[in-house]
């Protein structure tokens, strides 16, 4: 696999990690090639010594071989850039020699899909490619990357995608015979399960992921200021990061929220369920997001742990969530602009709904009936027939 991997944060990294673990647990030999050890501090998961051990096997110790590029001060030339493609390609050539893989699994265009394409050309080993949202929705649309990204798609034996993207690829001349439905294996039933939720005071609110205005961070902090002004008892636990974090730490200070907000860095993928269950409600305030077909999994993660998600109409109206999220039950949906007052109002609704009997969170059949091994077995059979 050539892909993002912890300590890189985010949904693609999580999907790659759990895919590698599932394949290893099914008895396959898995080698991960990544540049994860070079991730910037602003997007780095905080890992303990025990977390580090889990990189090579969550349920089966040392079942996944992880090879990462590292920073080397000798890689200095003008103009100064990180030669990540060259480093991954060089390490990939060595890995193909030692591991003798049946095929290469690449996830995300830059730099992993490009490396898989070049590695396949040099070694003759076929590759499959899985995209995300931002790579085909932003990177591939730029003129300087368009040709190489098209070559990645054109030369992949299989493209793991959704039916909603078929037209996009066919307009690029990619035949439909290459398409296979991508599957998500992040929501493992042994981790994402529901526990009882009982009312408590102060209410414990949670949030995790990148900060930013499209993530609703500023509105969330303004909402907390409104709650505090109205003597509404609360505590916010945040696992935050990203390039804008310093801006919001200043906002916390300016609003006098230092004693009300407990925040630290990005959380390991395998610790997310316990964090969700430690909260009474969790925010996901994505709004005005630049990639319209983006399908975030965070709301699904939240409700699968038996906690309501406070979210936006933009998220609730996505195809994945139209039937799944029930306003006033497992979700509290902000209608209209995402402002501090609007967010604070939804927190009030959560408290009012939890009064007395406590909220009942319906679990989704999409969560409870997923059989990851069967899905992966069927996908691997499709891949084998196309290699």
Assessment of whether the complete model's pTM goes beyond 0.85: yes
Reduced to 3 states (helix: H, G, I; strand: E, B; else coil), residue 287 is coil
* CA 86 to centroid of chain Cα atoms: 26
Unique residue bearing structure tokens 């992949």: 156
Q: Report residue 356's pLDDT band, with 50, 70 and 90 as the boundaries.
A: very low
Mean pLDDT of the chain, nearest integer: 92
pLDDT tens-digit readout, 10-21: 999 999 999 999
Distance CA 241, CA 171 (A): 37
Distance CA 312, CA 284 (A): 8
* CA 354 to centroid of chain Cα atoms: 29
Q: Encode 20-30: b = buried (16+ Cβ within 10 Å), e = exposed.
A: bbbbbbeeeeb
Residue 141 scores a pLDDT above 90: no
Burial of 202 by CB count in 10 Å (0-12 exposed, 13-18 middle, 19+ buried)? middle
Query: Strands 203-210 and 281-284, how do they pair?
Result: parallel
pLDDT for 353: 86
pLDDT tens-digit readout, 293-319: 668 899 999 999 999 999 999 999 998
DSSP for 312-366, please give it: EHHHHTSTTTTTT--BTTTEEEEPSS--HHHHHHHHHHHHHHHSTT----PPPHH
pLDDT for 355: 57
Q: What domains can you pick out in the chain, each with its CATH number?
A: 11-184+371-386 (3.40.50.2000), 203-366 (3.40.50.2000)
Ramachandran region, residue 147 (left: φ > 0; alpha: ψ -120 to 50; beta: rest): alpha
pLDDT for 198: 82
pLDDT for 361: 55
What would the two tokens of residue 104 be?
């290469």
- For residues 177-183, average pLDDT: 94
How far, CA to CA in Å, does 117 sit from each of 4, 121, 321?
16, 6, 35
Distance CA 156, CA 113 (A): 9
Distance CA 12, CA 108 (A): 8
pLDDT tens-digit readout, 94-139: 999 999 999 999 999 999 999 999 999 999 999 999 999 889 988 9
- Closest to 315 in 3D by CA, of 282, 340, 347: 282
What would the two tokens of residue 134 be?
């931002």
- For residues 169-187, average pLDDT: 93
pLDDT tens-digit readout, 25-81: 999 999 999 999 999 999 999 999 999 999 999 999 999 999 999 999 899 899 989
Q: Report residue 286's pLDDT band, with 50, 70 and 90 as the boundaries.
A: very high
Q: Which residues pair with 312 in a beta bridge?
A: 334
Q: Report residue 200's pLDDT band, with 50, 70 and 90 as the boundaries.
A: confident
Unique residue bearing structure tokens 């909260």: 279
Q: Which residues contact 53 (CB under 8 A, 6 or more apart)?
A: 61
Ramachandran region, residue 30 (left: φ > 0; alpha: ψ -120 to 50; beta: rest): beta
3-state helix, strand, coil in the chain (%, to 5): 45, 15, 40
pLDDT for 295: 80
Q: Report residue 371's pLDDT band, with 50, 70 and 90 as the boundaries.
A: low
């Amino acid at each position: 696999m050539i892909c993002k991997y912890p300590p890189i944060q985010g949904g693609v990294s999580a999907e790659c990690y759990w895919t590698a673990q599932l394949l290893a647990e099914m008895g396959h030999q898995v080698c991960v090639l990544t540049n994860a050890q070079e991730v910037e501090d602003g997007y780095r998961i905080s890992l303990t010594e025990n977390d580090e051990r889990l990189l090579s096997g969550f349920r089966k110790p040392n079942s996944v071989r992880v090879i990462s590029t590292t920073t080397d001060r000798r890689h200095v030339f003008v103009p100064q850039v990180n030669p990540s493609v060259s480093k991954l390609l060089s390490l990939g050539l060595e890995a193909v020699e030692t591991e003798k893989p049946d095929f290469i699994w690449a996830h995300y265009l830059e730099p992993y899909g490009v490396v898989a394409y070049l590695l396949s050309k040099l070694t003759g080993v076929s590759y499959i490619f899985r995209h995300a949202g931002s790579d085909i929705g932003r990177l591939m649309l730029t003129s300087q990357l368009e040709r190489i990204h098209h070559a990645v798609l054109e030369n992949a034996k299989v493209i793991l995608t959704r039916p909603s993207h078929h037209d996009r690829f066919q307009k690029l001349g990619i035949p439909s015979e290459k398409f296979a439905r991508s599957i998500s294996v992040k929501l493992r039933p042994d981790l994402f399960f529901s526990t009882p939720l009982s009312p408590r005071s102060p209410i414990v609110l949670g949030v995790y992921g990148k900060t930013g205005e499209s993530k609703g961070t500023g509105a969330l902090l303004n909402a907390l200021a409104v709650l505090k002004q109205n003597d509404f008892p609360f505590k916010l636990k945040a696992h935050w990061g990203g390039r804008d974090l310093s801006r919001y730490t200043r906002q916390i200070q300016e609003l006098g929220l230092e004693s009300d907000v407990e925040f630290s860095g990005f959380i390991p993928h395998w610790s997310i369920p316990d964090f969700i269950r430690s909260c009474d409600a969790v925010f996901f305030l994505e709004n005005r997001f630049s990639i319209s077909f983006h399908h975030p999994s965070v709301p699904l993660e939240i409700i699968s742990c038996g906690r309501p998600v406070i979210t936006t109409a933009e998220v609730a109206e996505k195809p994945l969530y139209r039937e799944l999220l029930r306003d006033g039950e497992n979700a509290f949906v902000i209608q209209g602009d995402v402002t501090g007052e609007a967010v604070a109002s939804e927190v009030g609704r959560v408290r009012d709904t939890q009064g007395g009997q406590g909220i009942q969170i319906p679990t989704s059949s999409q969560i409870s009936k997923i059989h990851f091994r069967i899905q992966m077995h069927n996908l691997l059979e499709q891949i084998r027939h196309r290699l």
